[in-house]
Structure 1
Amino acid sequence: MPTDFTRALAIVAHPDDVEYGTAAAVATWVDQGREVSYLLATRGEAGIDGIPPQESAQVRESEQRASARVVGVSTVEFLNHRDGVIEYGPALRRDLTAAIRAHRPELVITINHHDTWGGTTWNTPDHRAVGRAALDAAADAGNRWIFSELGNEGLAPWDGVRWVAVAGSPWPTHAVDVTDGFERGVRSLLEHRSYIEGLTDTDPRTYCREVLDWITGSAAPRFGGRPAVAFELFAR
């Protein structure tokens, strides 16, 4: 992965999207002195079957903020798109464009926008919508004639996004060695305890370590044999 950047913005759909691997890379980048912020399109209110949406939103927002702190991220922002029914289109692109102009990152990180995770494992509509909109917004942010009203809101065009890194892509091209960030990646995922307990009967600590072992181990053979988090990198 490129290392000549100072600011990154992770744009994802739900609480926990960053923690399935990417957070270990974030911990590594923060250790190197880079600034990383998070933007989430939803509060994940539809993500826990046993908790009503209004309560779930509060729980999951709190868990996401705690999770971010583990890897050194202090800025976590939420939009008000509805979990499970995010719509790709100008409204979403505008929200993401505004965030990119506000944060002025050189690297945008997002979630897999492809139809599948590989093979026949179908991706969710929210991931596809947010990932695709993030790729588009990276260009929209630099064009003063797209969402020109943002300029009146004090958000000047930002054409400084140099890369968009897509996590979880079936076609990774680059990777980050997360030897040093791995343990914080595990702890960061573990902060989503309420979500994990609704997802599996496996002990949460065991589940988090096994998931991160699998994610970083799957990438390792292609990227020097080290535990790695892989991305599909789009240069701009």
Structure 2
Amino acid sequence: MTDQLKPMPENWQRALAVVAHPDDLEYGCAAAIAHWTDGGRDVTYVLATRGEAGIDTCPPTECAPLREREQRASAAVVGVSEVEFLNHRDGVIEYGIDLRRDIAAAVRRHRPELVITLNHRETWAGGAYWNTPDHVAVGRATLDAVGDAGNRWIFSELIEQGLEPWNGVRWVAVAGSDTPTHAQDAGPGYERGVRSLLEHRAYIEALTDEDPEAYARSILDMGTSQVADRFGGRPAVGFEVFSR
């Protein structure tokens, strides 16, 4: 018998979501975020890039501000008002000290109890699809930067910038993992999850000829149904949760 997924932890107030690109959080995770913000929790988005290399027909100098606007509008749909961009280059993010430092700084700045990121492993869907280097780098760096944020002797220059160590992260939740341990009911936030993805209209229209709303609903339906049989039959967003 397949093990049932645990409900996501509820005893937290602040979350920080760290991903590589605009739209990364909207492919399912935003439905969970909508539910959390409805409950009075604070969620902040940090994106490593502005997604400037994401639309083939749009030069990066035009694409970056366009995708930034779409991301801010998308976040607002699910109750997120603070969106930061770290200005790493889309498509060529490098895992390393600079990325870890930037994410550790964000953790110290926002002092979350829950950190959310995206699949950091090389493949998706049990090995059927290769992951992108950007997702791998940012996901792995986020897991590492949470520890860096709590150690005053790592990136001590951040203290000089007024960013004191923060060791209050209790969980890191990885969305899109093939080995989820927890889930959040997607029902209450489903419609806003769809609308949140639809705010990335320029990206979606460049990606597919399908009607944007039909595309958004099919994406969320597929994602939230994958773990339903392990969560009481309810559509849900799955997370692999690492406790700290």
Q: What does residue 37 of structure 1 align with?
A: 44
2:67 is aligned with 1:75: no
Deviation of 1:178 after TM superposition, in Å, equals: 1.5
TM-score normalized by structure 1? 0.99
Q: Deviations over 1:48-98 (max 9, x none)?
A: 011001101011000000000000000000011000000000100000000
Letter in 2 for 1:191: E
- The alignment yields a C-alpha RMSD, in angstroms, of 0.5
> Which aligned segments of 4 or more residues in structure 1 are displaced greater than 4 angstroms?
none
Which residue among 128, 131, 144 is the counterpart of 1:136? 144
Alpha-carbon distance in 1 for matches of 2:99, 2:146: 13
Which residue among 59, 63, 70 is the counterpart of 1:63? 70
Deviation of 1:38 after TM superposition, in Å, equals: 0.1
2:19 is aligned with 1:18: no
Which residue among 208, 211, 223 is the counterpart of 1:200? 208
2:232 is aligned with 1:232: no
Which residue among 151, 162, 165 is the counterpart of 1:154? 162
Deviation of 1:120 after TM superposition, in Å, equals: 3.0
Aligned to 1:83, what secondary structure does the other structure show?
coil
2:205 is aligned with 1:215: no
Aligned to 1:144, what secondary structure does the other structure show?
coil
TM-score normalized by structure 2? 0.96
Alpha-carbon distance in 1 for matches of 2:127, 2:143: 23
Stretches of structure 2 that go unaligned for 5 or more consecutive residues are 1-7
Stretches of structure 1 that go unaligned for 5 or more consecutive residues are none
Alpha-carbon distance in 2 for matches of 1:51, 1:203: 20
Deviation of 1:212 after TM superposition, in Å, equals: 0.4
Deviation of 1:218 after TM superposition, in Å, equals: 1.1
Aligned residues: 236
Alpha-carbon distance in 1 for matches of 2:118, 2:186: 18
Alpha-carbon distance in 1 for matches of 2:161, 2:141: 21
Alpha-carbon distance in 2 for matches of 1:171, 1:54: 38
